[in-house]
Amino acid sequence: MFNPLNLRNIVQIAYYVNDVEAAARKAHTHFGTGPFYIHKNIELVDVTYRGQKATLDHTSAYAQAGPIMLEYTQQNNDGPSAFTDMYPDGQEGIHHVAIFVDNMVAAMRHLNAKDCATVTHYFTRAGNVEVAFVDTRSILGHMVELYQPVAVLTGFYDTVARAAQTWDGKELFRYINQPA
């Protein structure tokens, strides 16, 4: 049976939080995690939510924890999204795992055929990375984020992993785009 997904290839665990910097500080205090790369107001194009045109403004903080990237993400606007589907009204918790897939269309179709709807789909303006959140809560208890291993994304993963290996404990936050 063809399966375009392989959960052994999870590359990230992501948490939905109210404040990415506060969550990152807490992770650092309790586990020594760092440094965190923070990307504020990630620029997206062609956003859809459950098949309808939508707007999504979010900020994320990324750090490495062994072989897995950690992401803390917050939504900055009030629109519906894969984030608010799981955590309305200021709630927080694990949101998704991310998986690199070779074929986005095949991976989404595979999950959609298992009654797992594509919730949010978009492209990032930087590097034109295609991203999809698929609602796998009925199977896994959380969403799955899919994206292809394009150079701009795999390069970012490598940068975060290398920084964690050589980090001296200083400069907890490294901004991908400077805060406004």
Are 143 and 120 contacting, i.e. CB atoms less than 8 angstroms apart? no
Domain membership of residue 24 (yes or no) is yes
* 7-18 confidence digits (pLDDT tens): 678 999 999 999
Domain membership of residue 42 (yes or no) is yes
Q: How far apart are CA 148 and CA 154, in angstroms?
A: 9
In the chain, % helix, strand, coil (3-state, to 5) comes to 25, 35, 40
pLDDT of residue 137: 96
- Number of domains the chain contains: 1
pLDDT of residue 130: 92
List of the chain residues with pLDDT < 70: 1-7, 127, 178-180
Domain membership of residue 174 (yes or no) is no
pLDDT of residue 3: 60
Domain membership of residue 33 (yes or no) is yes
Domain membership of residue 178 (yes or no) is no
CATH number (domain holding residue 46): 3.10.180.10
Q: How far apart are CA 69 and CA 91, in angstroms?
A: 22
Domain membership of residue 177 (yes or no) is no
pLDDT of residue 177: 77
Domain membership of residue 58 (yes or no) is yes
> What range does the domain containing 105 cover?
8-167
